[in-house]
Amino acid sequence: MVAQSDNLQESQCAAAPGVDPQQADSPGEGLQHEASRECDVRRSIMQADTVVVKVGSSSLASSTGHLDPKRLGAIVTALSHVVRSGAHLVLVSSGAVAAGFGPLGFETRPDDPVTRQAAAAVGQGLLMAQYEGAFSRYGVRVGQVLMTAFDTIRSSHYHNVQSTLKRMLELGVVPIVNENDTLVTSEVRFGDNDRLSALVANMVRADALVLLTDVDALYTAPPTEPGAQRIGFVPDVVAQLDGIKVGESTSGVGTGGMVTKLEAARIAAVSGIPTVLTTAAYAGPALMGDPVGTVFAPLKHRGTSRRLWIRFASNPKGTVVADAGAVAAVRGGRASLLAAGTVGVDGVFSAGDPIWIDSEQGVHVAKGLAGFDSDEIPQMLGRTSKQLSRFLGEEYARPVVHRDNLVLV
């Protein structure tokens, strides 16, 4: 963002207790602290060019659970300043169910999933109409993007969504993303929008992720518990959350609670993206780098978005079992899994689907994208590339999982 905040004083730049910025612990798997100082993380959020903001149902609904246009309007006012200051904004917004159940005659948010899906179908259009009206007061154009978990799993869908979002941002449009509630089944649903927002942040290579909810920060325990203390800064969300009690949603409106928000912060951190979590009323100050909410430092080694997608979004469909030599080669970091080192295959999958690579002891070694359909692999097990090309044809002399499509677990 272009705007500067006077409130971000150097005096805030104290390292977190017990963390030496020069010698921070490594959280493992080659990750290192990018910025251990709270002020640096807040400053990078303030200076972000591309920001993904996630708004939860609990921030958009009144105490009765219905969509509250006043709350939505206040959020839009804060976000419009960000857009007008020159930043690119992607808004991941829940609220379709909250907008839809009232007009259908329900007094409270329906419990059963199919009625909720029907409410979302009615509410999504109403939600967008509210956003359209509110953003247009600031001259900001918006566009609707509905996604399912499948779109973050299938490579072709992922790349299509990615290029559409990129083009919308180039055109100055604010994409408003929600899960496509009417299409999702229980197997492939996010349910909450927290993880979706982190995957979208990764997709658009955002510089900051902002999670807006009904609580002002992460606490050491659900804030309803006596003695719960606010946490202002988390330098390492992958390794340093021992002793913090995170709970499910208690609002009766949201889904996922703090558990899924921390998952989102983790995905963002290892994607090299800082996160700030706070209440919707502090959206403006959080985006200006003010000391509100909880900030999560990014961790180094961003990796390619493809690898991050394999790591976080993909839901393995099957398993290929590797012998000890192949396991050692894959763990070494730069080797593909060749048919010569495979001893078994399990599950039904197509080439391009995510699969596990397991050791013969049944330990997950890596996750990767299959090079072949599951029914092609049995005839390839233990064969060298020369044998494969001679007996099955040249097209089989390829890795079962190529190293570019593989992440260690």
Ligand X SMILES: N[C@@H](CCC(=O)OP(=O)(O)O)C(=O)O
Is the Cβ of residue 124 or residue 255 nearer to ligand ADP in the bound state? 255
**Of the ranges 31-39, 134-142, 241-249, 328-336, which one interacts with ligand ADP (CB under 6 A)?**
241-249
- Residues 24 and 29: their CA atoms lie apart, in Å, by 15
With CB under 6 A as the contact rule, the residue among 51, 83, 218, 339 that binds ligand ADP is 218
Q: Is 255 annotated as a binding residue?
A: yes
- Residues 368 and 330: their CA atoms lie apart, in Å, by 11
DSSP-assigned states of every residue in 152-184: HHSHHHHHHHHHHHHHHHHTT-EEEEEE-TTT-
Q: Is 353 annotated as a binding residue?
A: no
| Cα angle for residues 231, 236, 238 (degrees, 5° grid) | 110
Q: Is 214 annotated as a binding residue?
A: yes
Is residue 94 packed enough to be buried (19+ CB in 10 Å), middle (13-18) or exposed (0-12)?
buried
Give all strands of the β-sheet with 364-369 in edge-to-edge order.
Answer: 342-347, 318-322, 354-358, 364-369, 406-408
Residue 152 found at the interface with ligand ADP (CB under 6 A): no
Residue 238 found at the interface with ligand ADP (CB under 6 A): no
Decide which of ligand X, ligand ADP, none touches 246; Cβ closer than 5 to 8 Å per partner kind: ligand ADP
Q: Is 257 annotated as a binding residue?
A: yes
Is the Cβ of residue 39 or residue 61 nearer to ligand X in the bound state? 61
Residue 279 found at the interface with ligand ADP (CB under 6 A): no
CA–chain centroid gap for 238, Å, is 14
Q: Nearest approach, Cβ of 261 to ligand ADP (angstroms)?
A: 7
In terms of Cα–Cα distance, which of 374, 384, 395 is closest to 340?
A: 384
Q: Is 94 annotated as a binding residue?
A: yes
In terms of Cα–Cα distance, which of 275, 292, 137, 110 is closest to 200?
A: 275
CA–chain centroid gap for 53, Å, is 11
**Of the ranges 29-37, 221-229, 335-343, 372-380, which one interacts with ligand ADP (CB under 6 A)?**
221-229
Is the Cβ of residue 140 or residue 253 nearer to ligand X in the bound state? 253
- Residues 375 and 205: their CA atoms lie apart, in Å, by 36
In terms of Cα–Cα distance, which of 81, 77, 6 is closest to 290?
A: 6
Q: Give residues with Cβ within 8 angstroms of 18, minimum separation 6.
A: none
Q: Is 404 annotated as a binding residue?
A: no
Q: Nearest approach, Cβ of 63 to ligand ADP (angstroms)?
A: 13
Q: Is 182 annotated as a binding residue?
A: no
**Of the ranges 8-16, 70-78, 140-148, 243-251, which one interacts with ligand ADP (CB under 6 A)?**
243-251
Q: For binding to ligand X (CB under 6 A), which residues are involved? A: 56-58, 94-98, 120, 178-179, 181, 192-194, 254-256
Q: Nearest approach, Cβ of 213 to ligand ADP (angstroms)?
A: 3
In terms of Cα–Cα distance, which of 73, 9, 92 is closest to 46?
A: 9
Q: Is 73 annotated as a binding residue?
A: no
Q: Provide Rg for the chain, Cα atoms.
A: 23
Is the Cβ of residue 95 or residue 274 nearer to ligand X in the bound state? 95
- Residues 256 and 2: their CA atoms lie apart, in Å, by 33
SS (H, E, C) 17-40: CCCCCCCCCCCECCECECCCEHHH
Q: Are 139 and 174 in contact (CB under 8 A)?
A: no
Decide which of ligand X, ligand ADP, none touches 96; Cβ closer than 5 to 8 Å per partner kind: ligand X
User: Per CB under 6 A, which of residues 182..211 are in contact with ligand ADP?
Assistant: 192
Q: Are 348 and 318 in contact (CB under 8 A)?
A: yes
Residue 58 found at the interface with ligand ADP (CB under 6 A): yes
Q: Nearest approach, Cβ of 178 to ligand X (angstroms)?
A: 5
Residue 223 found at the interface with ligand ADP (CB under 6 A): yes
Q: Is 305 annotated as a binding residue?
A: no
Q: Nearest approach, Cβ of 97 to ligand X (angstroms)?
A: 4
Q: Nearest approach, Cβ of 201 to ligand ADP (angstroms)?
A: 16
Decide which of ligand X, ligand ADP, none touches 151; Cβ closer than 5 to 8 Å per partner kind: none
Q: Two tokens at 269?
A: 């951190």
Binding-site residue ranges for ATP: 54, 213-214, 255-261
Binding site for ligand ADP (CB under 6 A): 56-59, 192, 213-215, 218-219, 221-223, 245-247, 249-251, 253-258
Binding-site residue ranges for substrate: 94, 181, 193
Binding-site residue ranges: 54, 94, 181, 193, 213-214, 255-261
